[in-house]
Amino acid sequence: MTTSATPVPTTRIREAEEEYQLGLVFFKKKQWRSAARHFSLAEKRAPRQDPQLHLYRSWHGLALVYSRDVSGLNLCRHAAAQPGIQATVFQNLVLAEMKLNHRKRACEALSEGLQLDPRHHGLVKLSKQIKLRRRQCLVFLKREHPLNKWLGKVTYRRMMRRVARR
């Protein structure tokens, strides 16, 4: 009895993996909607015990975000909140957060992902692309306060002049 039950999950896992691979092909071609469709099918076909399920969900969410569907961000966040996930899930979350201009959350996801895998190629590349902000001049005021903005510009210019002289 148990031998007949094992082929079903492996078949479903194989089908989910095939849909996932198709989704990656469409994603690389920047055909976001087609990629989202295939990632969604991979997510649906994967059994609950599949360790790749969160990866499929994060790619599905990222493809939705790239196709201008904001609901994909929730899929990425949900996939990253699960235990035992891969660093690629955090990479997808960072990309989704950056696409929607959520810089602070993107930096948080980036640091979590780098804690999980400090040598992950995609996360290391993203950490070089995302320039971290300097500390604000007047910490008791919000970063967006006009005085903080003005002081930040003045001090940045001074710093850049000193660097240029060296």
User: What residue spans of 6-145 are helical by DSSP H?
Assistant: 7-28, 32-45, 53-66, 72-80, 87-99, 103-116, 121-129
Q: What is the pLDDT of residue 113?
A: 93
**Residue 7 pLDDT > 60:** no
Q: What is the pLDDT of residues 43-78, one digit of tens each?
A: 999 988 888 999 999 999 999 999 999 999 999 999
pTM, rounded to two decimals: 0.75
Any idea which architecture 2-132 has in CATH? Alpha Horseshoe (1.25)
Domain boundaries, the chain: 2-132, 133-166
